[in-house]
Amino acid sequence: MGKSWQSIVWTISVLLFVAGAAASCSQPQPKSRINSNAPGEQAALPPTPDSSVRMKGASGAKSWRTTADAIIAEGVKYMGTPYVYGTERFEDKAFDCSSYVQYLYGHHGISLGYNAREQAVQGPEIAFMNMRRGDLMFFSDEDFPNETGLNKVRHVGIYMGEGKILHTYQPGIGVVISNIHKDEKEGEYWYQHFLFARRVIPD
């Protein structure tokens, strides 16, 4: 009787164990989304971009825009500052066109050449339609129509976006914002005398 009872208990235990094992194997296990697919098999979800690459790209974009905005915001504070050709560099009582941009960009860690021609070879050249805030714009001068090459460069300004230039020129005008087209003072002069732009704020 004792042996028979033990046999029954043992048999029931074995049956319960087998049933439990079968139940646990019958549940499909979720696939990992990382390397879970056989070659040629489509992923259940599209892969997400690497977060470090995404953050790097975002911070890079933010960096150039922040620098450009800061340069322009500082430059606007000098509206009306007198224009004096050949003025002393890195002082803010008066500017000529090249000392103005040299002063502003220098405050933000970007070293520019002494005059507009030196600045005109810094950074990659940018097409007119691809300019962005903070790019430098270079212009010829109607009083020097026969110049060639870099000698054509007679003026530099900062592109503000939306068709506007922040720059300084001519005694009695000084630091001013001009329109590339239909400027109140100069009409189409800036557009007609535009040579090229340069990008000196890195991406």
pLDDT value of position 9: 43
- Domain-located, residue 37: no
- Domain-located, residue 39: no
- Domain-located, residue 54: no
Residue 65 burial by CB count (10 A; 0-12/13-18/19+): exposed, middle or buried?
Answer: middle
pLDDT value of position 157: 98
- Domain-located, residue 172: yes
Ranges of residues in the chain whose predicted pLDDT is under 50: 1-3, 5, 8-60
Torsion of CA 148, 151, 156, 162, to 10 degrees: 10
pLDDT value of position 7: 53
pLDDT value of position 11: 47
pLDDT value of position 199: 98
- Domain-located, residue 20: no
Instruction: Provide the residue range defining the domain that includes 138.
Output: 63-199
Instruction: Report the number of distinct structural domains present in the chain.
Output: 1
Instruction: Say which residues have a Cβ less than 8 Å from residue 78's Cβ, sequence separation at least 6.
Output: 92, 95, 100, 175
Indicate which CATH number applies to the domain containing 159.
3.90.1720.10
- Domain-located, residue 81: yes
pLDDT value of position 91: 95
- Domain-located, residue 29: no
pLDDT, tens digit, 9 for 90 and up, residues 99-151? 999 999 999 999 999 999 999 999 999 999 999 999 999 999 999 999 999 99
- Domain-located, residue 31: no
pLDDT value of position 88: 94
Please give the full DSSP string across the chain, using - where no structure is assigned: -HHHHHHHHHHHHHHHHHHHHHHHHHSPPPPPSSS-SPTTPPPSSPPPPPHHHHHHHHHHHHHHHHHHHHHHHHHHTTTTPPB-TTPPTT-SSSB-HHHHHHHHHHTTT----SSHHHHTTSS-EE-GGG--TT-EEEE--TT-TT--GGGG--EEEEEEETTEEEEEETTTTEEEEEESSSBTTTBTHHHHTEEEEE--S--
